[in-house]
Structures are given as structure tokens and as C-alpha cells.
Amino acid sequence: MRRFLPILNVVLITLLFSSDAPGFIYREFTIQEIIDGSTNIVFGKIKSIDKRRMNAIIEVEEDLKGKKLDQIKLNIATGWYVRGSSPQKMIRLLKVDMPLIVFYQQTHTVEGLGYFDGTWYRNRTGNANGWWIFTHLCPYMARTFDGSTMEFREVIRAILAGERWVGAPENALKVLTLTGNTKAMPSDGPIPVPTNTVSYEYNAIRALRTVGDRTMAHEGTQDSSLPGLDEVEILWLGHREIAYRGYQLNEVAEKKIQAFVENGGIVIVSGQDADREEPFEIGWLAGNLNGVERKPTQEFSVTEQGQKLFAEPNEVRSGDLYIDDTWTDWDNNFQVLATSNNGKDLLIGVRKHGKGLYIITSLRNDNRYTVENNKKLIENIIHFAVNQIP
């Protein structure tokens, strides 16, 4: 069964279901995104297939989120003829009594995603009790899940029940990312979305599935109280999640983060938003540091201690990164790996505390372009962090 990476989302899923977005789905969506974007989650089975008329009837057995329909009538003849998808291919895949799952979003129309044994498809209708129009198969969605239908049902039930790390491989290193609380650019769409949670930064982080012989598992949370922090090895505090137009963490979260590091956890801090009008608080850090407002730059210098970080597994040079607000006034317990502003500002620094450590960065990970440029160093930082774990 393919490992997958749940995270809360309520906005971007409209792009997944939307009839205004023709063609294939290319971005990797998480199961939690699909669940949270669905008004209904149907478990059912194929009751009948008419190959001459190119249609099928799905008997609805259960709806985990909304009002249960008796059946879904699927018109397959309407399907698109595009690479990897046709009405004929779809109907050949269906079998009587085959279990299915249908996620759908019901607003003024009904937009749906169906699943059976490794196959995803899109369908829609103007009336849930009428005929649903099959549009096309979605091969790229196999990255989200590609196991059996019955396995997928158990996964969905577990996620709806609030279980964490569902499907994470045994002995995987767990990375929790705090994300989704700022107006960072969404993973799809041309304008900032305040409720976006699947940021470009998080997608870059969770793209790293292995480090050496270590398997990685990823989850994201919008909850700054960081539930389940004691279950993970690495905490990534996302871009502007500590400070964005004001301080974001409370005293409980601060103490939890410090205790996490003291007990052996690794905290990676992305670039934050430092305003002259707003004092930058560091209660989450065991040490001294000051966040400062700076103009964006791409220039930096690597110290002798930082050479390995900027070379493995990816070579990263000055001019490759996007840097914004940074850090100054670090204490003597910091190991400085890279600086900007002629050595006055901290680009990457490491500070040990107890059994764990902090990795502080000034990376500007706020949109597709900056993350695309920074993702090599993001990967290097995760490799560096994993190599600190026994």
C-alpha cells in the first residue's frame, strides 16, 4: 500500500473537483485534502453494468459524511478521449459487485472523484439523483493512494476517527510541519488564499520520502498547540508560522517546543516575518536570537562549518536561494553555517539544547518560485537533521 501524507485543507480541493479545470490533475493531493473537500464520502458497489448503453449503477451502502443516496447512476459514454482515458477503458475496468468509493462536493452542482483498486476517475452531475457524467480517468492521482478499495476504506475511517500517521511505515522517521496559518501562496491558484494549508513549502518538505536508508513519514498541522509532538522526531515550523503580522505561538506551545528539543527532538525553523512595529518573541527557543526585517536578497556566505550542508546531497551556491527577514544577535552557543548581509545576519545556524537541536533558517518559502529555488537546500537541511538522529 502506498504511503500517503494527510494534512487539513478546505480550499484547494475546489481545484480538484472543479469543472472549470479541465484535463488531468497533476499536483499530488493528500487524502486529507480530499476528505475535507468532500461533502459526501460514499462506500458502494457496482450493482449493474450496461456495456451497450455504456452506463453503470452504483449501489450506495454508506455515506460517511453526508445524506445517503440510494444509488449513483454513472453515464460512461460521455467520457473524454484523452491519453490514458476513454469510455471503453473505463467500462472494461468495472465489474459487477466491485466495491467503490466516491468522494463528492455538493454545491450548486456535484463534482466527484471515484476510486476502485488503484484507479481514480472524475465525474459530475447537476442533480445527485440524476445521471452522473463520467469525464476521465486520473492516472496522476495514484500518487495519493493506489492500494485496494477495502484498504482505502479502512484508511478513510481511521482518518475520520482522528488517528494520526495512518499508513506511515513502521520505524519511519516522522516529520510534523506547522503550516497553513498565513497568507502564503497556495499550491495551486494565482492569488493568496487565507485558508490555504498545503503550501509550496510543505509540498517540498513532504516530497522527501527517504534519506539514505531511513524512510520518512510526513504530516502537517494548522494547530499551533502541536498535538502529538511527542510522537515525532522532527518539527518544521513553516514559513511565517511563528511570526506573521504578530507573534503566533502561546506559552504552552513555547514550552512544548523547548521540551521537545531538550528530549532529543529537532526543530527546523523556516523564515519568519519580522516587523519593526512588532517585537519578535523567542519563547520557543532555548537561547538568544533576534528577528529583524530585511530586504530580500539572494547573496550569502557559507562558513567552514557549513560547507557540508551546502554540498550534500545538492550543491547550493550564493545566488541560488531566496532570503528575506533574517536573524541577528545570536548567542555564542550557535554554530553558524551561513550568513547574509556581510556576516551580520544568520542564514543558517544550529543550536544544541539538551539531547536535541534547533536549525534556524532565513529561507523565504512563500510562493512557487521561491520554494522552487530553495528546495535543494530544504532537502539538504532535512538530510542534515536526519543524520543527527541515532
> What amino acid is encoded at 147 in this protein?
G
The pLDDT assigned to 297 comes to 96
Give the total number of structural domains in the chain: 2
Mean pLDDT, rounded, for 228-241: 94
Shared-domain flag, residues 266 and 342 = yes
Phi and psi for 264 in degrees, rounded to 5?
Answer: 115, 0
Please give the grid coordinates belonging to residue 183: 497568507
Q: Are residues 230 and 120 in the same domain?
A: no
> Is 145 inside any structural domain?
yes
Nearest Cα to Cα of residue 9 among 144, 186, 165: 186
> CA 8 to CA 103: how far, in whole Å?
16
Query: Which range is least confidently modeled, 13-22, 244-253, 264-273, 299-308?
Result: 13-22
Evaluate whether residue 292 is within a structural domain: yes
The pLDDT score that the predictor gives to residue 198 is 63
CATH number for the domain that contains residue 355: 3.40.50.880
Domain shared by 106 and 212, yes or no: no
Helix (H) or strand (E) holding 353: strand 345-353
Least confident of 140-144, 172-176, 335-339, 370-374: 140-144
Question: Do residues 242 and 367 share a domain?
Answer: yes
Q: Are residues 71 and 193 in the same domain?
A: no
pLDDT category at 100 given cuts 50, 70, 90 is very high
Per-residue pLDDT at 279: 61
At 190, list the grid cell.
494565482
Mean pLDDT of 240-253: 87
In this structure, the answer to whether residues 91 and 200 fall within a common structural domain is no
Domain end residue (candidates: 160, 181, 197): 160
What pLDDT is stored for residue 3 in this prediction? 37
From 131, 160, 189, the end of a domain falls on 160
The pLDDT of 172-196, averaged and rounded, is: 64
Q: What percent of the chain has pLDDT over 90?
A: 69
Do 222 and 340 share a structural domain? yes
> What size, in residues, is the chain?
390
Taking every pair of Cα atoms in the chain, the longest distance, rounded to a whole number of angstroms, is 77
Residues 157 and 298: their CA atoms lie apart, in Å, by 46
Going from the C-alpha of 140 to that of each of 137, 146, 250, the distances in angstroms are 9, 10, 40
Name the least confident of 186-200, 274-288, 362-376. 186-200
Residue owning grid cell 539514505: 212
Neighbour tally for 52: CB within 10 Å = 5
Phi/psi for 353 (5° steps) reads -150, 115
- The predicted model gives 217-242 an average pLDDT of 92
C-alpha cell at 290: 533576534
> Which pLDDT score, from 0 to 100, does residue 103 have?
96
Question: What would you report as the CA-atom Rg of the chain, rounded to the nearest whole angstrom?
Answer: 23
- Residue 375 in this model has a pLDDT that exceeds 80: yes
Q: Would the pLDDT of 1 be above 50?
A: no
Contact (Cβ atoms closer than 8 angstroms) between residue 338 and residue 319: no
Q: Which of 110-114, 142-146, 152-156, 342-346 has the lowest mean pLDDT?
A: 142-146
- Which of left, alpha, beta for 220 (phi over 0: left; psi -120 to 50: alpha)? beta
- pLDDT score recorded for residue 205: 94
pLDDT at 7 over 50: no
Is residue 365 in a domain?
A: yes
ω before 313 within 30° of 0 (cis)?
Answer: yes
Average pLDDT on 288-292 reads 91
Of 389 and 6, the one with more pLDDT: 389
Q: Are residues 366 and 250 in the same domain?
A: yes
Decide if 269 is inside a domain. yes
> Does one domain contain both 148 and 284?
no
- C-alpha cell of 169? 511505515
Q: What is the pTM of this model?
A: 0.82
In a domain, 1, yes or no: no
What's the pLDDT at 278? 64
pLDDT at 192: 39
CA distance 25 to 15: 9
Please give the residue range of the domain that contains residue 37: 13-160
Degrees (nearest 5) of the Cα angle 273, 277, 283?
Answer: 60
Give the end of a domain, one of 138, 160, 182.
160
Backbone angle region of 345, left / alpha / beta, with phi > 0 → left and psi within -120 to 50 → alpha: beta
The pLDDT assigned to 183 comes to 58
Burial environment of residue 13 by CB neighbours within 10 A (0 to 12, 13 to 18, 19 or more): buried
CA distance 63 to 156: 12
195 pLDDT exceeds 70? no
* Domain membership flag for residue 53: yes
pLDDT above 70 covers a percentage of the chain that reads 88
pLDDT attached to residue 275: 74
**Residue 204 in grid coordinates:** 517540498
pLDDT band at 203 (very low <50, low <70, confident <90, very high): confident
Say if residue 117's pLDDT is above 80.
Answer: yes
Check whether residue 150 and residue 178 sit in a common domain. Answer: no
Residues 48-63 have pLDDT tens digits of 999 999 999 999 999 9
Looking at the structure, tell me whether residues 97 and 217 fall in a common domain.
Answer: no
- Same domain for 228 and 294? yes
- Please, how many CA atoms are within 13 Å of residue 362, restricted to the half-sphere of its CB? 32
Alpha helices per DSSP H over the chain: 13-17, 31-37, 87-93, 149-160, 200-206, 251-262, 368-386
Confidence of residue 168 (pLDDT cuts 50, 70, 90): confident
Examine residue 168 and state whether it is found in any structural domain, yes or no: no
Q: How far apart are CA 27 and CA 140, in angstroms?
A: 8
Query: Is the residue at 167 inside a domain?
Result: no
In this prediction, residue 217 carries a pLDDT of 94
Q: Which residues of 315-341 are buried (b: 16+ CB within 10 A; e: fewer)?
A: ebeeeebbbbbbbeebeeebebbbbbb
Q: What is the pLDDT at residue 83?
A: 87
pLDDT at residue 317 greater than cutoff 50: yes
